[in-house]
């Protein structure tokens, strides 16, 4: 076994026929200290402090100067495109990779010299390797046995974990008698079983179907809250990150681009890239013009003007993008009547609907404006009226300046 494989119950041998047989428990494999036995951080000290961490593979900087504080009990999500360095960052926290630069502090102590199995940190890997020759029950119990837990306590804990991931009745099955999603749930149960202080979860729910994923999300949140664990979850699913996490960090090309609450990330992204990566957005590129009555006029490339609420700090550059989320863009047959604010209470643009996508709870529309730009609008289907608007219909597209955001990069 490699150091990584022997370090914790979740870093088991891969689920492959040639996997070596499980060796008897070794003293050094008693991996993860229980949360209660760890020193508690000082009130203002984050549980985890990541300082300027860099990880290079050859000349390539997979993680490129990441700094981040994570508080005890936080549910933190890492979002970002494939290959941006999420797994590499988690692997450094778990101790499976050594940073080339920077420090990682846990409870105020640099954990560089602490071996993976001595860290109160556990990781559920993206490929969730299970022991192929052990039953569901024994896979979940594996780390508990190694840690010397009493048999009765193991039984209680395993039952709790089996119930959590809804695998009751399957305790005796081997991994090859489970579906991919069920195997992932065993891996999740196994990583949670020892209640580490920090649990790193790399795409933990990716193989679950939508309904099970949603219920497991809520159960994970409940469990995390109940046990006071700190979770750092990597996910590709933005809705999942928004639902579960108290804060989200968005990574791109090894860098942490923004760290914010789900609401702030969505409503006040700090860059055009973030605005486009998190959710859907309409962008109008243009030049900042005059400011009147709290409204900033932005002359768009297509010759129009979009009014935006004046930002607290004026844009440093005149070339900006105006961002507006599709659900904040309304359609109507006639322009809305604005009282008391002249023509600037709403941005009103005219065009023709080119696409209608009915999605159940909402319908999304693409509208080709007379200027040539395409704008997306999504509207909740709050009544059963069929096809409020249809393709080729002429509509007024309108949105308020307050719902627009000025982005400079
Ligand atoms: N051991 C390695 N040797 C060389 N390059 C590596 C190694 N591990 C990762 N990389 C590279 O580092 C980058 C970041 O990889 P990482 O696995 O952290 O991405 P990720 O954000 O987790 O992606 P995904 O969402 O696809 O899982 C990728 O370009 C990857 O090819
Ligand atoms: Mg990954």
**Which CATH number is 309's domain given?**
2.40.50.100
Residues 201-249 have pLDDT tens digits of 998 888 778 888 888 888 788 878 887 889 999 998 899 999 999 999 9
| Residue bearing tokens 């300027």 | 52
Kindly state whether residues 196 and 293 are assigned to the same domain: no
Kindly state whether residues 199 and 79 are assigned to the same domain: yes
Annotate 228-263 with DSSP letters as a single string. Answer: T-EEEEE-S-HHHHHHH-SEEEEEETTEEEEEE-HH
Kindly state whether residues 11 and 124 are assigned to the same domain: yes
Domain tally for the chain? 2
| pTM for this model (two decimals) | 0.83
User: Pocket residues for ligand 1 (CB within 6 Å)?
Assistant: 57, 62, 80, 82-88, 126
pLDDT at 294: 85
> Which protein residue has the closest C-alpha to ligand 1 atom 3?
57
Kindly state whether residues 219 and 161 are assigned to the same domain: yes
What average pLDDT does the structure give for the chain?
85
- The residue from 260, 294, 312 where one domain ends is 260
Give the ligand at the shortest distance from the Cα of 236. 1
Say how far apart CA 336 and CA 404 lie, in whole Å: 18
pLDDT at 339: 54
Query: Which CATH number covers residue 178?
Result: 3.40.50.300
pLDDT at 9: 39
Atom of ligand 1 nearest to the CA of 89: 18
> Which protein residue has the closest C-alpha to ligand 1 atom 1?
57
Kindly state whether residues 25 and 141 are assigned to the same domain: yes
Q: Measure 234 CA to ligand 2 centroid, in angstroms.
A: 8
Is 87 inside any structural domain? Answer: yes
Distances (CA, A) of 241 to 77, 124, 202, 234, 273: 6, 17, 12, 8, 18
Kindly state whether residues 176 and 318 are assigned to the same domain: no
Is the CB of residue 246 less than 8 Å from the CB of residue 75?
A: yes
- The residue from 260, 292, 311 where one domain ends is 260
Percentage, residues of the chain above pLDDT 70: 86
**Total residue length of the chain:** 409
Out of 85, 90, 249, 250, give the residue to mutate to test ligand 1, the one with the largest number of ligand atoms within 8 Å of its CB. Answer: 85
Q: Measure 33 CA to ligand 2 centroid, in angstroms.
A: 26
Is the CB of residue 124 less than 8 Å from the CB of residue 188?
A: yes
Indicate the SS3 state at residue 9: coil
Domain hosting residue 319, numbered range: 280-407
pLDDT at 405: 94
Q: Measure 12 CA to ligand 1 centroid, in angstroms.
A: 20
pLDDT at 334: 86
**Cβ contacts of 379 within 8 Å, gap of 6 or more:** 327, 330, 331, 362, 363, 365, 388
Kindly state whether residues 175 and 284 are assigned to the same domain: no
pLDDT at 398: 95
pLDDT at 342: 55
Mean predicted confidence (pLDDT) in 344-373? 92
Residues 102-140 have pLDDT tens digits of 999 999 999 999 988 788 898 887 677 799 999 999 999
> Which protein residue has the closest C-alpha to ligand 1 atom 20?
83
Say how far apart CA 317 and CA 382 lie, in whole Å: 41
């Amino acid at each position: 076994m490699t150091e990584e494989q022997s370090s914790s119950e979740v870093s088991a041998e891969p689920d492959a026929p040639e996997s070596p047989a499980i060796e008897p428990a070794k003293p050094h494999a008693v991996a993860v200290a229980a949360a209660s036995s760890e020193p508690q951080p000082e009130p203002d000290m984050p549980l985890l402090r990541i300082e300027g961490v860099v990880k290079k593979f050859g000349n390539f900087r997979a993680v490129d100067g990441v700094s981040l504080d994570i508080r005890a009990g936080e549910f933190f999500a890492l979002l970002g495109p494939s290959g941006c360095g999420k797994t590499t960052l988690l692997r450094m926290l778990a101790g499976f990779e050594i940073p080339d630069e920077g420090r990682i502090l846990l409870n105020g102590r640099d954990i560089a010299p602490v071996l993976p199995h001595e860290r109160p940190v556990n990781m559920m890997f993206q490929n969730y390797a299970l022991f192929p020759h052990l039953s569901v029950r024994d896979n979940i119990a594996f780390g508990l046995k190694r840690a010397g837990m009493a048999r009765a306590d193991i039984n209680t804990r395993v039952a709790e974990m089996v119930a959590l991931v809804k695998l009751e009745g399957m305790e005796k099955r081997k991994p090859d008698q489970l579906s991919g999603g069920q195997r992932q749930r065993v891996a999740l149960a196994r990583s949670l079983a020892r209640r580490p202080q920090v649990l790193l979860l790399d795409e933990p729910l990716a193989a679950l179907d939508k309904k099970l994923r949603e219920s497991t999300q809520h159960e994970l949140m409940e469990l995390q809250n109940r046990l006071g664990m700190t979770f750092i979850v990597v996910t590709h699913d933005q809705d999942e990150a928004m639902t579960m996490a108290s804060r989200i960090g968005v990574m791109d090309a090894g860098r942490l681009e923004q760290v914010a609450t789900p609401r702030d990330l969505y409503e006040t992204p700090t860059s055009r890239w973030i605005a486009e990566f998190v959710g859907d957005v309409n962008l109008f590129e243009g030049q900042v013009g005059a400011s009147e009555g709290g409204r900033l006029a932005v002359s768009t490339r297509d010759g129009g003007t979009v009014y935006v609420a004046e930002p607290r700090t004026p844009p440093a550059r005149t070339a900006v993008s105006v961002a507006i989320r599709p659900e904040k863009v309304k359609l109507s047959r006639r322009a809305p009547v604005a009282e008391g604010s002249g023509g600037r209470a709403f941005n009103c643009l005219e065009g023709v609907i080119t696409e209608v996508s009915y999605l159940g709870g909402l319908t999304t529309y693409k509208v080709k404006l007379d200027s040539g730009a395409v704008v997306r609008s999504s509207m909740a289907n709050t009544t059963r009226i069929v096809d409020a608007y249809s393709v080729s219909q002429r509509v007024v597209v309108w949105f308020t300046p307050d719902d627009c955001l000025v982005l400079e990069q």
